[in-house]
Amino acid sequence: MLHKYQTMRINELLTNTDQLDEASLRDLARAGMLGAGLIGAGLGANSMLSKAPEAPTAITQPAQTAQTPDAVTKAKTTAVQQKAQDNPNFPTELKGLDSKDAKTRVSTFTRVVLPLIDHENAEIKRQRQALVQLSKQKNLTKEQAAWIEGMKSYYKADTLKDLVAKVDIVPRSMALAQAAVESGWGQQPLAQQANVFYGQKTFDPEAPSATGQYGEKYRAFDSPQDSVRAYMRNLNTHPAYEPFRSARAEFRSKNRPLQGAQLVKSLGSYSTKGGYGQQLQSIIKSHGINKLDTN
């Protein structure tokens, strides 16, 4: 996968000045192109997964048999629980969290999800540092130039300057608050069935997906980590989130730490519901999540 390949090769890119043979360059180019063009219009995500989880089983019954609303609700709940059990990668600590008090919900969700966010941000930070350093070099090796071209393809950037602007972290508070809202603190059926932590819709018939309440298709993921990775790439590449990237770049230009409570105001395109940014701000501030933003 490109993600792992980039992680392993960055130090070499900054220090190795030897020429590579043609076979190595071909391997590098192929690795650099993985994932390119996988995000379409809307909120589509980027992970290339093996198989889409099945849609929730429909509850059917003979026409002559009447069921009470309670019986139907119980049957649907049982189906949802079964689908959640079929997803071995959903964090067990998040199951049944809706029965806990608010403090426990926030602390548990943070303990489980924040390390996933930190993992992706750490990789993006390494990529950004390498790009900034390489952008200052007058001459690049073939390997360095090939890596930059692969990054341009992955992040949908035309120039090195545009690439540096796109390859940047997502504030911890913002990523955590969005995961909480979009997954209902991990309690939404789609989150438990198919690791849908950020509500990313897909219109690609070939993409792994899970079906929502009204028949809409959400991007399904093998693991919560894949969902976080796709979410960050989505914010860093899709045209709809240019306002977010511009606001983030302004923070950088002023040498200010990225503040999620401020940057969420630029996410108007993420949800069709009004007041989305204000909702995220409220969660960040009321639960003290803003304290997580230190870089």
Tens digits of residue pLDDT in 22-49? 444 444 444 443 333 233 333 433 332 2
Mean pLDDT over each residue of the chain, to the nearest integer: 79
Highest mean predicted confidence (pLDDT) among 63-72, 85-94, 127-136: 127-136
State the residue for tokens 């350093």.
133
Model-level pTM greater than 0.95? no
- Whether pLDDT at 77 is above 80: no
Question: Could you tell me how far CA 251 lies from the centroid of its own chain?
Answer: 22
The pLDDT tens digits for 235-272 are: 999 999 999 999 999 999 999 999 999 999 999 899 88
Mean pLDDT, residues 112-122: 98
Residue 213, pLDDT score: 86
pLDDT higher at 53 or 89: 89
Mean pLDDT, residues 275-280: 94
The pLDDT tens digits for 158-217 are: 999 999 999 999 999 999 999 999 999 999 999 999 999 999 999 888 899 999 988 999
Torsion sign across C-alpha atoms 171, 173, 176, 181: negative
Report how far residue 229's alpha carbon sits from residue 107's, in angstroms, rounded to the nearest whole number.
Answer: 22
Residue 294, pLDDT score: 76
For 134, residues 6+ apart whose C-beta sits below 8 A from its C-beta are 13, 14, 140, 144, 148
Q: Mind giving me the DSSP string for 28-63? A: HHHHHHTTTT---STT------S-PPPPPPP----T
